[in-house]
Amino acid sequence: MRTAGGEPTDRETMRAEYERRMGAIRRDFDSDGDGLVAIAARSALVDNLVSRLWAAEVEGDAALAKGMVVAATGGYGRAQLFPCSDIDLLFCANKGEAEHAKDAIRRVSQALWDCGMQVSPVTRKVSECERFSLANAEFGLALLDRRMIAGDAAVFARLNEKIREKMMARDVKTIRAEIVSLTRERHAKYGDTLFHLEPNIKDCPGGLRDANVYGWLRMLEGTSPSGGEFEDAVRFLAATRCFLHYRHERDDNTLDWRAQDAAAELSVGVGRVRLPGGVDPAYWMRAYFRHARAVERSLLREFESNGLALATVEVRRVKLAGVEGFRLKDGRLILDAAGNVDPATEPETVLAVFEAMAKTGARLDGESEQRIGAAIPQLSANLEEGPGLWRRLSAILTGERAGVALRAMHTLGLLDLILPEFHGIDALVIRDAYHRYTVDEHTFVVIDTLHGLEADPGPKAPEWRVKLGSMLRELQNPGLLYLAALLHDTGKGRAGGHHAVESAQMAKGVLARLEMDAYDAALVLRLIETHLEMSAALRRDIFDADTVRTFVGRVQTHELLRMLTLFTYADIQAVHPDALTPWKAENLWRLSMNASNQLDRNVDEERVHAGGKDERIVRVLALLPGAQAAAERFLEGFPERYLKTRPPEAIRQHFEMTRRFDEEPFQISFQHGASTSEITLVTQDRPRLFAGMAAALAAWGMNVVTAEAYANEAGVVVDSFRFTDTFRTLELNASERERFVASVRDLVAGKASVEKMLSGRKRGKRRAPRVSVTTKIDFDETASSHSTLMQVVAQDVPGLLRAMSVTLSALGHNVEVALVDTEGETAIDVFYLTHGGHQLNGEQESELRDALIEAIAENAR
């Protein structure tokens, strides 16, 4: 059979021709890698075959020449037929012609199937195409991309007119709403992120479907897609999808690891010339993510200009006090217009914008976003590091919507500017069968998950969920946990060693630039270094004493244990939505509880023997060349907890303080911090030292958060107290800090009277506690061979530590080791006590219990 023009329409010939020309299209693609050319060429090929088949039908039945049109819709309508895409054909009749054309439509469709195409034919009257039906939204959207292939042009003109004047004009709001709904649904299926390790390049956020959505929205407002990065992105994605179709030989758009390797080897989409040997797969995937981001960005801007919101997260109503250079209006953060200086170039203003974003979840308006993006070089020149930057970063990290702000900062390059260490994990694919997201996105999901714990867990929440929520709320400085979370996987961007060690190594630079307090910096580093320890322990028997002891040996403090528990929960959850089952979460909580119970049990028993080859001792000694023998004597006999929890630099400082005993026997170091401050006393052991320090801090109105008291074999004590400044005395009066240190020294040395100072203090009215804690005192004689362990759990109120330590002194008990901790409104204090160099006997324990209960009650009144 042939058409009037002499072209064959018999199935064998058409199939051969289709296969031959498809082969030519593929050869062209293999040679030039241009996906857009390939999909246009396939569309043209199918147009030709459809036209010929319809022409043959019309030749056989002249009645078909009038009243029927054959149109392409959907991707075919856009003339973008990927190698294995379905072919959406609309046989549209003016009125009742469709019934007459039924056999012809069947034959045309059958012929196309026989050629090897997946055809989806639809037959409709024009009048059936003038309404957008929610019941068949996909068809309505496909109609937006329609193109005449063959048949009666008058019918197509009428179809066009009806769609434009009826459907698009009347139902435009419904169409837009349905586009939003379908897009949200599709994005949610992919976790609302484009950063998947094996993305579906059609349906994932930032994929070709998003490019179509962008095109539809532009069409509905009467404009065409803009060029630039969007056009480049579509070109890249088109090439990649063609590659995947040829590779998989079906409409499978999953960019799996093997496909990534193959695409990188062929440098698919990366320039017109295929590079010999291809490119590195990690580089190629970054190119993919860059283009996907461009598509997503274009789509978000289009949503914004249409007054639509893709994100389902509501903007929180938070009052932003004292902000300058920007405003929050209609749920958008908008930079002020540029005056003499553009606010977009001012780091303080820009960071304040992201702080507001982290608090509210509001996004930047398109213009502000572009201005900040363009101002990155000036921001880089103007950015000042140090404590001010840490304050801002901490405020961003602890904002409830930190994830929104961090992702926006990352996209604009601002996060990389502040933390160049983060650049190495930008869109980094790590091939791990359990992970779902790229390393940077995984990091943001960890932070989102932690913030998720802030929400009310509800009355039916399991115990572990309630406990984790309160654990997070009770952290003294949650910014440290979030900073560790932000940096924990940066080491994955470096080739070589264990990523936890590499990440900690990289974090050192960050902490130094932020000029963080030594204690806080050490905590962040230890959290990063040990961030896999709890997951590892969970794979062992969590009720086995050895497992718990080994884990505890790595953690050492309650503060780190709490942070590690929270971090591990979030880290597992962020691997994959199904990775953390309730079973696993409960095991995590049980392990945390077991470890907490074990944590303070053997501190007095496990002592440093400086002659050993412990790596930590070696590190301390390395800092003290020429004084190694004296330093070894200093370390001898301290509890191992001291060596394991203090950075070598801090231990060096304590050692050097002992060398100044001749000048001043009560050596004190003081570090003022924004949230907590630390004071350390190094001196020769004598009675009532710990009580004296606790009393001195109470006299100054300081609230002790944690404290540790250790002594070495030579009787040198190191007592450290971390405290909050209840009345902000030291924060508001920097000059008072020196007086504070001198006063504490005098009070500890007995040169001034604590009682006199305390009597001169007016005690403010205490607020009622939110949680009432009953005092509980336990003794354990088995934890140490020579001292008695006493654990006191009580309501945390100012002066508590003083009240307890004064009672201990009054009864003649010596504090060998003290480990003071606070969890929200609960104080949990552990003391290793001796009396006359021996463990306490039953009578002494009983007397002490009664005295402490009375002293604690008296202090609370």
Partner 1 sequence: MQKIEAVIQPSKLDAVKDALVELGVLGITIFEVRGHGRQKGHTEFYRGREYAVDLLPKIKLELVVAEEMVEKAIQAIITAARTGRIGDGKIFVSKIDEAIRIRNDERGEIAL
| Residues forming the site for partner 1 (CB under 8 A) | 463, 539-544, 581, 583-584, 586-587, 590, 593-594, 596-597, 773-774, 776, 791, 793, 823, 826, 828
The minimum distance between CB 457 and partner 1, in angstroms, equals 17
Instruction: Provide the β-strand partners of residue 566.
Output: none
The minimum distance between CB 160 and partner 1, in angstroms, equals 48
Q: Closer CB to partner 1, residue 581 or residue 726?
A: 581
The minimum distance between CB 790 and partner 1, in angstroms, equals 13
Q: What are phi and psi of 643, to 5 degrees?
A: -70, -35
- Note the helical H segments in 460-544: 463-473, 478-487, 499-513, 518-529, 533-538
In the block, tokens 């075959």 appear at 49
Instruction: Provide the β-strand partners of residue 679.
Output: 670, 721
Nearest-angstrom CA–CA distance, 82 and 57: 27
The minimum distance between CB 685 and partner 1, in angstroms, equals 29
The minimum distance between CB 793 and partner 1, in angstroms, equals 3
Q: What are phi and psi of 775, to 5 degrees?
A: -65, 135
Q: Closer CB to partner 1, residue 592 or residue 787?
A: 592
Q: Closer CB to partner 1, residue 202 or residue 601?
A: 601
- Burial level of 758, CB count in 10 A (0-12/13-18/19+)? middle
Nearest Cα to 287, choosing from 353, 213, 232, 337?
232
CB proximity list for 686: less than 8 A, separation 6 or greater: none
Q: Closer CB to partner 1, residue 653 or residue 775?
A: 775
Q: How does DSSP assign 682-748, residue by residue?
A: EEE--TTHHHHHHHHHHHTTEEEEEEEEEE-TTSEEEEEEEEEETT-HHHH-TTHHHHHHHHHHHHH
The minimum distance between CB 857 and partner 1, in angstroms, equals 16
Q: Closer CB to partner 1, residue 393 or residue 575?
A: 575
In the block, tokens 């996060």 appear at 415
The minimum distance between CB 449 and partner 1, in angstroms, equals 20
| Angle formed by the axes of helices 518-529 and 478-487, nearest 10° | 50
Q: Closer CB to partner 1, residue 59 or residue 586?
A: 586
Q: Closer CB to partner 1, residue 793 or residue 860?
A: 793
Q: Closer CB to partner 1, residue 118 or residue 581?
A: 581
Helix (H, G, I), strand (E, B) or coil at 793: strand
Q: Closer CB to partner 1, residue 671 or residue 826?
A: 826
Q: Closer CB to partner 1, residue 520 or residue 559?
A: 559
DSSP 137: H
Q: Closer CB to partner 1, residue 788 or residue 795?
A: 795
CB proximity list for 59: less than 8 A, separation 6 or greater: 3, 4
> Is the distance from CB of 94 to CB of 178 less than 8 angstroms?
no
The minimum distance between CB 704 and partner 1, in angstroms, equals 17
The minimum distance between CB 792 and partner 1, in angstroms, equals 9
Q: Closer CB to partner 1, residue 19 or residue 463?
A: 463
The minimum distance between CB 579 and partner 1, in angstroms, equals 12
In the block, tokens 């008296």 appear at 858
Beta strands (DSSP E) in 21-67 are: none
Q: How does DSSP assign 349-393, residue by residue?
A: HHHHHHHHHHHH-PEEPHHHHHHHHHTHHHHHHH---SHHHHHHH
Q: How does DSSP assign 194-208, residue by residue?
A: S-BSS-BTTTSTTSH
How would you classify the pairing of strands 363-364 and 332-335?
parallel
The pair of three-digit structure tokens given for residue 516, joined into one six-digit string: 């963080």
The minimum distance between CB 597 and partner 1, in angstroms, equals 6
Nearest-angstrom CA–CA distance, 732 and 190: 49
The pair of three-digit structure tokens given for residue 493, joined into one six-digit string: 């961007």
The minimum distance between CB 776 and partner 1, in angstroms, equals 5
The minimum distance between CB 596 and partner 1, in angstroms, equals 6
Q: Closer CB to partner 1, residue 109 or residue 594?
A: 594
